[in-house]
Chains A and B, each alone.
Chain A
C-alpha cells in the first residue's frame, strides 16, 4: 500500500461522465441478454465452454460496475488495494473450498 501523504489535501475526483454511464448500462444490459440467451441453448449448455464463458461474462459485468459506477478506475489507488486484496483472498478461499470438496 502506498503512502499518499505527498499529495494530501486534494482528492482527485474525476468521475466518468453521463455518456460513459449510459454505455456501461448498455453493456450490462447486453451481456445479461447474451447470458440468458445462452442458457436456453441446450447444446451450448452441454458443452465444456459454457461455464468458462459465462464466468468471463459475469466477470466483465462485475469489473465495469466496479471500475466505472464505483469509479475505482478514477479513484485513489488505496481504495483499489482495499478492495482487490480482500477480493483476491475471497476468490482464493472459494476456489480452495471447492477443490477440497471435489467440486472442481
Chain B
C-alpha cells in the first residue's frame, strides 16, 4: 500500500536519519504490512474452504454436476492452464531477484551484460505478472461461458473473490514495477536505490507465496 511506496520513490533528499535499529523505516513498514496481509488472505482462504462442498448448484470445482434439467457440467477448474500460470508467476519471482541484484550490484564485476540490466529484469517481471493476469482473465471468462458466475453459487462467490483479490494484488504489483522501470529509464536506478527495489520485491514475492498457498489449497486439493 501507500506506506511502502510513500517515501520510497524519491531519494533526492537522502538525509541519513538516525534510526534505533539501523534499519530503514520503509522496510519495517512493508514487513508489518505483509504481516497484516497474512490475515487478509487467511480470512479469504478460510471462507473458501468453509464453503467448499456447500454449494447447492453447480458448476463445481472438482466434481461433475448434472442440473435438474439434465444439463451436464464438467469439473470447472482447468489444472493445466493454471499450472502454466503458476509457473509464470513463480518464474517472475526469479526475475524479480535478478532485478534487485542488478540494481544492488550495479557497476560491480560480474554484473555486466544481461545480468546487470535492471531494466530488462524489471520489464520481464512486470511482463510475467501481466501474463499471469492474462491467464486469470482467460480463466474467468471461460468459467463464465461454462456457467459459473460470481452469483451462481457459494463456490463461484468465494472463488472469484479470493482469486480476484489476489489478481488485484498482482495488478498493483505490476503498476509498482512499471513505476520502478520508468524511474530506471529516466535516471537509472543505482545501488542507492536498492531499498526502493527491495520493498517492491518483498511485496511481489509475498503475492507469489500467497499464490503458492492458493494453488495447492484451491486447485489441487479436492
- Contact of B216 (CB < 8 Å), options: A58, A78, A85, A86: A58
Chain A proximity mask over B84-97: 1 for CB below 8 Å, otherwise 0: 00110011011011
B42, A94: Cβ atoms closer than 8 Å:
yes
Q: What is the CA–CA distance of A18 and B38 in the complex, to the nearest angstrom?
A: 28
Q: What is the CA–CA distance of A4 and B77 in the complex, to the nearest angstrom?
A: 48
B21, A25: Cβ atoms closer than 8 Å:
no
Q: Which B residues between 112 and 166 are near A, CB-CB below 8 angstroms?
A: 115
B104, A32: Cβ atoms closer than 8 Å:
no
Q: What is the CA–CA distance of A28 and B87 in the complex, to the nearest angstrom?
A: 9
CB within 8 Å for A4 and B220 given contacts A15-B104, A90-B39, A98-B49 = no
**Who on chain B is nearest to A96 by CB?**
B46
CB within 8 Å for A66 and B209 given contacts A76-B21, A94-B46, A101-B50 = yes
B31, A79: Cβ atoms closer than 8 Å:
yes
**Who on chain B is nearest to A45 by CB?**
B222
Main secondary structure of the interface of A (DSSP, over half): helix
> Which residues on A sit within 8 Å (CB–CB) of B215?
32, 35, 58
CB distance from B77 to the nearest CB of A (A): 10
* A43 contacts chain B at the CB level, 8 A cutoff: no
CB within 8 Å for A32 and B87 given contacts A62-B213, A82-B32, A94-B46 = yes
B90, A97: Cβ atoms closer than 8 Å:
no
- Please name 23 pairs of A and B residues whose Cβ atoms are closer than 8 Å in the assembled complex, sorted by A: A7-B22, A8-B20, A8-B21, A8-B22, A18-B101, A21-B98, A32-B215, A39-B220, A58-B212, A62-B212, A69-B201, A70-B205, A70-B206, A78-B21, A78-B31, A83-B31, A86-B36, A89-B39, A91-B42, A94-B45, A94-B46, A94-B49, A103-B49
- List the 4 closest A-B pairs by CB distance, nearest first: A86-B35, A90-B42, A58-B216, A8-B22
